Amino acid sequence: MQHTLSVLVINNPGVLNRVSGLFSRRGFNIDSISVGASEHPQMSRMTIVVRGDKTILEQVTKQLHKLVEVVKISDITKENYVDRELVLIKVQADPSVRGEIMQLTDIFRAKVVDVAPKTLIIEVTGDTGKTEAIIQSLKKFGVRELVRTGKVAMLRGSRFDRGLKEVDEIG
CATH of domain 82-148: 3.30.70.1150
What is the predicted pLDDT for the residue at 45?
Answer: 96
Quote the pTM value. 0.82
Alpha-carbon span 19 to 105, nearest angstrom: 36
The most distant pair of C-alpha atoms in the chain lies apart, rounded to whole Å, by 61
Q: What is the pLDDT of residues 93-130, one digit of tens each?
A: 999 999 999 999 999 999 999 999 999 999 999 999 99
Instruction: Provide CB contacts within 8 A for 152, sequence distance 6+.
Output: 34, 36, 47, 83, 84, 85
What architecture does CATH give domain 2-80+158-170?
2-Layer Sandwich (3.30)
What is the predicted pLDDT for the residue at 62?
Answer: 92
Long-range contacts of 161-166 (CB under 8 A, 24+ apart): 163/72, 163/74, 166/71, 166/72
Q: What is the pLDDT of residues 1-28, one digit of tens each?
A: 899 999 999 999 999 999 999 888 888 8
State the first-to-last Cα distance of the chain, in angstroms, to the nearest integer: 34
Q: What is the pLDDT of residues 33-76, one digit of tens each?
A: 999 999 998 999 999 999 988 888 899 999 999 999 999 999 99
